[in-house]
Structure 1
């Protein structure tokens, strides 16, 4: 009897909806202060609309982890995200790191954001991703607070070593934590080392073949879904250049912007994709 080919693994596509001036490296270096944000040109709506078009062309549904700050200023964008069948999820109010907040401050932040997103999108918000993957050993209480505030899953841990984030001791696979499902960013193992395989800056900096191969090790080798993420500003080669930043931040932020959209078009063809909630919360 001929054996059936294994079912294709469906992966989770996600977008962290923030504008070009809201990245933590700019604030952390003192290059852009929060009180400047409203005076800077906003490009997040146009860039996100480009992504909605890219996903529509590929028949891909995704999860948009969105700042409350963005939703407050661009409610029509939030409605378009939902109307086109994508999942709306929380990225916190204004990109404040979760490990820089007290438990009470964190609770107020995620509650305010959830309410604003649900009002703008007229849909339930059950997912959360902290700014700069900032839930880890410093703030394990955050998982319970998220569950208490009505979230069903979190995607804020990254089991790698990085100067801004990362928890090398965190599990690589989805697991229950504090009353909700924790979905870590995808990593692969090569020669005994855990390497990032989730997108973002790594996807822009590395040749596409390496990124695809790293994901294949998880999707085909481990037979489990991968999580991919990126930001709307990463397809925007014409965004303003910030002058007073160091070389590392400059390389990380601006390298590969002009090629990102074409790489994404290849990615959505090479793998199967869906929303975070459908991939991880709904049994297949």
Structure 2
């Protein structure tokens, strides 16, 4: 998500969503809001990158880490497939020490690469979409076996009790 797609926040609220996980507090060539908090905050369509007292949607920013001195996503997709597992585990451990939920995601198509039609894409998009796609399931499985994960609604209930 970025300023051009901020209208989505209002659509989520109109559809009775309570939380979102679309902000990446890092800058990439495709997306990212490097100034956004790493821990959950209240978001609005006019304030994507900072806590907003008038916000009605809880943003769970995606996991990031430092790599070669730069903050990069470590949450899923290309980064989950490409980064060494040790770097992702260290990012999760760093968030755990700070008591920040480390949100990550998996694209459904990454779990069944044998079923994905290999459509012709520009070279960069092909690389981002398919690089090490066969590693996704095993990496996700290792993370699920090593760390305790929960749902956003369970986390919200826990912090409000």
Larger radius of gyration: 1
Name the CA distance, whole Å, in 2 between partners of 1:204 and 1:268. Answer: 15
Is 1:242 aligned to residue 108 of structure 2?
no
Counterpart in the other structure of 1:253: 129
Deviation at 1:249, TM superposition (A): 1.3
Is 1:171 aligned to residue 37 of structure 2?
yes
Is 1:183 aligned to residue 60 of structure 2?
yes
Q: Structure 1 stretches (4+) deviating beyond 6 angstroms?
A: none
Secondary structure at 2:104's aligned position in 1?
Answer: strand
1:200-215 aligned within 5 A: 200-215=77-92
* 1:279 alignment partner, one of 143, 155, 158: 155
* 1:228 alignment partner, one of 104, 109, 119: 104
Counterpart in the other structure of 1:152: 18
Structure of greater relative contact order (alpha carbons < 8 Å, 6+ residues apart): 1
Counterpart in the other structure of 1:36: none
Deviation at 1:271, TM superposition (A): 0.4
Is 1:267 aligned to residue 133 of structure 2?
no
Name the CA distance, whole Å, in 1 between partners of 2:112 and 2:132. Answer: 10
Is 1:138 aligned to residue 4 of structure 2?
yes
Counterpart in the other structure of 1:161: 27
Q: CA-to-partner distance for each residue in 1:161-220, whole Å, 9 max, x for gaps?
A: 122221122222211122121111122346764221212210111221122122222123
Counterpart in the other structure of 2:50: none
Name the CA distance, whole Å, in 1 between partners of 2:67 and 2:4. Answer: 28
Say what the alpha-carbon RMSD is for the aligned residues: 2.2
Q: Which stretches in structure 1 are left out of the alignment for 5+ residues?
A: 1-133
Deviation at 1:268, TM superposition (A): 0.6
* TM-score normalised according to structure 1 size: 0.47
Equivalenced residues, count: 148
Name the CA distance, whole Å, in 2 between partners of 1:206 and 1:280. Answer: 29
Name the CA distance, whole Å, in 2 between partners of 1:167 and 1:191. Answer: 19
